[in-house]
Amino acid sequence: MGSMTFPRRALLGGLLAAPAAAQQARREFPTVPPDYLREPPDIPGFWVSRPEAIEEFLRTRVKKGEVRRIGTTAGGRAIHAVFYGRPRTGRGTATFSGALGFGDVRAYLGPEHEKRVYLGLAGVHGGEFEGMMGMVNLLAVLETGADLRGRPWPGIAAAAARVDRIIAVPVLNVDGRARIPLRMIAHRGDDFTVHEYLNTGGKLDGTLIGWPQCKQNIPLDFSTVQFPGGYPNDAGVNVQHDDFLGNQQPETRSLFDLCAAERPDLTINMHTGAQFMHPLRPFQEPALTPWFETYYRRLQTRLTQAGLQASADPAVHSDPARERLSVYNLDTALNLHCGTLSILIESPSHNFSRAKRNGEPFFHSPENLLDAQLIAHEQALAFLAETGGRSRWTAKKA
């Protein structure tokens, strides 16, 4: 087999209505090395990561939650969210910016400012499967008390019961995810080339576009690459770095509208790309920094205790001073849009592993990766339940 043909989306009446950008989607990428599209032989049943499998899960397994379509991608695909609990009702009297100027965020959050609202977000980058698989398993826990392995998570159930509202967006960039016709990428030892190629793309000569070079061209013209990777939507835009205050992509608009309606206190934005899991320091309101650091310490300590950090010493991994400030990105925009503390978490990849600090080889098994995902959600929900959310984090001084 010399080449692999990618699934072609139906041309359903698209030519009249589709903008030029969406037509990029219908390009095929026949020169992707077939070896890159190899799956491992035994993919665990809990590893639900392809868009159609996630949609089937939402359709058939979500009973307590409410599944709703919140928007449509640039390529015409549905974006779904799942909702649990009761939303904040009533509106505030001011914009978010106005409430900051007034000195009391309750003027934005409205009469139900005390409610605790959690947003779990995954699949902003389509080649980062861990967060999507983790979100499906979080939904399984919220539905049944156990993940798709049958392992119970009483800490998630207990924390969820103390939170008023949980919203899960399993895949935001459905276009980018659909572009990669794999449920799981074969493990490549300590070589991250294939992960990087599928995630941030390959040039016409097959070499890696690379990170952060992939951010030099937004939107990306797909005719200039061998494979665009899962970063961009079908309009070529990496929505983590959208034109937030100008010409927004439909994925960003859908997320902004969701956040304006729900006003989440805390948003966890799941990505893949680290050697061991860690949250990145967001570029947002300075008043939220202590709360980011509180969550950081809590999560990193718990991950270390679970054997999911580079050493067994929580003091090494739980110091937030090791995180440099991120640049302005989607998490900044969400914060400035609706006041949410939005934290990007980088997961390790199932596709490659690195040694621990002492040189001991460490394999990020699918089970380890699922544990880390669910620990991140568990600690986020518990942090939100215990600290009370946005209106208490930055309460007006008497």
Number of Cβ within a 10 Å radius of residue 319: 13
Only one of the segments 47-55, 72-80, 117-125, 181-189 lies at the binding site for Zn ion (rule: CB under 5 A); that segment is 117-125
Q: Which of 195, 271, 377, 390 binds Zn ion (CB under 5 A)?
A: 271
Number of Cβ within a 10 Å radius of residue 235: 24
Nearer to Zn ion by Cβ, of 128 and 196: the residue is 128
In this structure, what token pair is assigned to residue 188? 């490549």
Per-residue binding letters, 305-324, with Zn ion (x by CB under 5 A): --------------------
Residues 138 and 221 sit within 8 Å (Cβ to Cβ)? no
Instruction: Provide the minimum distance between the beta carbon of 273 and Zn ion in the complex, in angstroms, as a whole number.
Output: 6
Q: Which of 77, 113, 125, 177 binds Zn ion (CB under 5 A)?
A: 125
Task: Give the three-state DSSP class for 376.
Answer: helix
Alpha-carbon gap, residue 14 to 49, rounded angstroms: 27
φ, ψ of residue 89 in degrees (nearest 5): -110, 160
- DSSP states of 224-245: GEEE--SSS-TTS--GGG--TT
Nearer to Zn ion by Cβ, of 51 and 339: the residue is 51
Instruction: Provide the minimum distance between the beta carbon of 241 and Zn ion in the complex, in angstroms, as a whole number.
Output: 10
Nearer to Zn ion by Cβ, of 226 and 272: the residue is 272
State the number of CA atoms in the 13 A half-sphere of 382 facing the CB: 18
Look-up of token digits 């009702």: 89
Nearer to Zn ion by Cβ, of 212 and 290: the residue is 212
Only one of the segments 4-12, 125-133, 244-252, 298-306 lies at the binding site for Zn ion (rule: CB under 5 A); that segment is 125-133
Instruction: Provide the minimum distance between the beta carbon of 271 and Zn ion in the complex, in angstroms, as a whole number.
Output: 3
Alpha-carbon gap, residue 34 to 191, rounded angstroms: 17
177 binds Zn ion, rule: CB under 5 A: no
Nearer to Zn ion by Cβ, of 115 and 271: the residue is 271
Only one of the segments 123-131, 148-156, 366-374, 384-392 lies at the binding site for Zn ion (rule: CB under 5 A); that segment is 123-131
Instruction: Provide the minimum distance between the beta carbon of 243 and Zn ion in the complex, in angstroms, as a whole number.
Output: 18
Per-residue binding letters, 74-113, with Zn ion (x by CB under 5 A): ----------------------------------------
Nearer to Zn ion by Cβ, of 108 and 231: the residue is 231
User: According to DSSP H, which parts of the chain are helical?
Assistant: 14-17, 20-23, 51-61, 96-102, 106-109, 129-144, 154-161, 174-178, 193-200, 250-262, 289-305, 314-317, 330-338, 366-387, 390-393
Instruction: Provide the minimum distance between the beta carbon of 346 and Zn ion in the complex, in angstroms, as a whole number.
Output: 7
Instruction: Provide the minimum distance between the beta carbon of 269 and Zn ion in the complex, in angstroms, as a whole number.
Output: 9
Task: Give the three-state DSSP class for 166.
Answer: strand
Q: Tell me the number of residues near Zn ion by CB under 5 A.
A: 3
Nearer to Zn ion by Cβ, of 85 and 229: the residue is 229
Return the bridge partners of 66, or none.
83
Q: What is the DSSP letter of 133?
A: H
Per-residue binding letters, 126-145, with Zn ion (x by CB under 5 A): --x-----------------
Nearer to Zn ion by Cβ, of 131 and 366: the residue is 131
Instruction: Provide the minimum distance between the beta carbon of 125 and Zn ion in the complex, in angstroms, as a whole number.
Output: 4
Alpha-carbon gap, residue 54 to 82, rounded angstroms: 12
Contacts with Zn ion by CB under 5 A lie at: 125, 128, 271
